[in-house]
Chain A
Amino acid sequence: MPVQDRTNEFRSCVESIRNRSAVPRNVEAKQRLLHAQAKGGSKSDFTRMASQIGKEISATTIKLSKLAQLAKRKTLFDDRPVEISELTFIIKQDIASINKQIAQLQAYTKQRNAQSAKNPASRQVDEHNHNVVMMLQSKLATTSMSFKDVLEIRTQNMKESKDRTEQFMHSTSAAATQAPSNSLLFASQRNQDPMGDGSSSYRPDYKGKGRARQNGDVLALDLVSAEEGSGAPNGAYAQMQLVEQQDNYIQSRSTAIESIESTIAELGQIFTQLANMVAEQRETVQRIDADTMDIASNVSGAQRELLKYYASISSNRWLMLKVFGVLIVFFLVFILVS
Chain B
Amino acid sequence: MKIFALSVFEAVPSGSATLLTSATNLSSFSFYQKGSVGEFMTFFSKTVAERTPQGQRQTVQENNYTAHVYNRGGAERLAAVIITDDEYPVRPAFSLLTKVLDDFTAKVPQSSYSNPSGIDFGEINAYLEKYQDPGQADAIMRVQQELDETKIVLHKTIESVLERGEKLDNLVERSNALSMQSKMFYKTAKKQNSCCVIM
Contact = CB atoms under 8 A, between A and B. Distances in A.
Contacts of B103: none
A23 interface: no
B164 A281 contact: yes
Contact of B182 (A253, A266, A302): A302
Interface in A253-306: 253, 256-257, 259-260, 263-264, 266-267, 270-271, 273-274, 277-278, 280-281, 284-285, 287-288, 291-292, 294-295, 298-299, 301-303, 305-306
A173 B95 CA distance: 23
B186 interface: yes
A281 B144 contact: no
Contacts of A35: none
Contacts of A285: 168
A249 to B, nearest CB: 5
B185 A216 contact: no
Nearest to B182: A298
Nearest to B190: A305
Interface in A296-318: 298-299, 301-303, 305-306, 308-309, 312, 316
A201 to B, nearest CB: 21
Contacts of A248: 90
Contacts of B95: 206, 253
A153 interface: no
Nearest to B162: A277
A209 interface: yes
A259 B151 CA distance: 13
Given A252-B90, A271-B154, A216 B175 contact: no
A213 interface: yes
A216 B54 contact: yes
Interface in A33-92: none
Nearest to B158: A274
B118 to A, nearest CB: 28
B182 A294 contact: yes
B98 interface: yes
Interface of A: 206-207, 209, 213, 215-216, 247-249, 252-253, 256-257, 259-260, 263-264, 266-267, 270-271, 273-274, 277-278, 280-281, 284-285, 287-288, 291-292, 294-295, 298-299, 301-303, 305-306, 308-309, 312, 316, 319-320, 323
